């Protein structure tokens, strides 16, 4: 992680927050920007990388400029899957502040990569992360800032969430597990003659 961080311009002590998703009102990237603005006041070694494009791109960019966050926030409109994988390896936390997430594939990607996750308490996010991540009240940027800051200072909690996330993805969302569940469903259906 340290080597990859230095390759893309971060120091070992820097705490990198990652968001991957469409810049759309339902993903609520503005709450994340506001939380980072508050968090960097207490931890200037905290950074945010946003990967995504969408109808809120200009508004997100304007919010970053208005809050004087150009030093702390990097926006990548597009990234190859290889680049995104690299960014998961650099990230110290992944945040999904969605208003109502239908599933949250990026949460699984982050958890599978061993990145601790913080997500809003709305939509399917609580069900996806279970006890392997941290939830915050959707839209409450001050609460989100505190949760990001707490992880930036608590390496043990970060380590535990990293392990729990990997374990949850492997045990709950693996293809092998899904295949077994479908086979059980088909066998039970056939046995009942439906």
| 71-85: pLDDT as tens digits | 999 999 999 999 999
52 pLDDT exceeds 70? yes
Dist CA 9 CA 7 (whole Å): 6
101 pLDDT exceeds 90? no
Whether 132 contacts 164, CB under 8 Å: yes
User: 118: which strand partners?
Assistant: 95, 134
What's the mean pLDDT in 27-55?
A: 97
Dist CA 174 CA 106 (whole Å): 15
The pLDDT score that the predictor gives to residue 161 is 97
What's the Rg (C-alpha) of the chain? 18
109 pLDDT exceeds 80? yes
Pairing of strands 15-20, 46-51: parallel
Instruction: Name the token pair of 63.
Output: 């919010």
Task: For residue 49, give the DSSP letter.
Answer: E
The pLDDT score that the predictor gives to residue 184 is 80
What's the order of all strands across the beta sheet hosting 73-76?
73-76, 46-51, 15-20, 93-96, 117-120, 134-136
User: Which region holds residue 87: left if phi is over 0, alpha if psi is between -120 and 50, else beta?
Assistant: alpha
What's the mean pLDDT in 147-152?
A: 97
The pLDDT score that the predictor gives to residue 30 is 98
177 pLDDT exceeds 70? no
Q: How confident is the model at residue 19 (pLDDT cuts 50, 70, 90)?
A: very high
104 pLDDT exceeds 90? no
Taking the whole predicted model, whether its pTM rises above 0.85 is answered as: yes
Instruction: Name the token pair of 173.
Output: 């969302």
Q: How confident is the model at residue 102 (pLDDT cuts 50, 70, 90)?
A: confident
């Amino acid at each position: 992680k340290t080597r990859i961080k230095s390759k893309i311009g971060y120091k070992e002590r820097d705490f990198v927050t990652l968001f991957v998703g469409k810049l759309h009102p339902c993903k609520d990237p503005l709450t994340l920007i506001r939380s980072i603005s508050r968090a960097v006041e207490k931890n200037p070694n905290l950074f945010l990388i946003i990967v995504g494009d969408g109808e809120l791109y200009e508004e997100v960019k304007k919010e970053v400029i208005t809050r004087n966050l150009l030093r702390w926030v990097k926006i990548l409109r597009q990234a190859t899957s290889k680049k995104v994988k690299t960014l998961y390896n650099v990230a110290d936390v992944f945040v999904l502040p969605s208003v109502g997430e239908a599933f949250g594939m990026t949460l699984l990607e982050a958890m599978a990569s061993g990145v601790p996750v913080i997500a809003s308490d709305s939509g399917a996010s609580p069900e996806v992360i279970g006890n392997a991540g941290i939830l915050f009240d959707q839209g409450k940027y001050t609460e989100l800032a505190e949760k990001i800051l707490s992880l930036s200072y608590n390496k043990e909690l970060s380590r535990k969430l990293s392990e729990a996330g990997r374990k949850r993805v492997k045990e709950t969302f693996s293809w092998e597990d899904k295949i077994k569940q479908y086979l059980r469903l088909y066998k039970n259906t056939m046995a009942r003659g439906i």
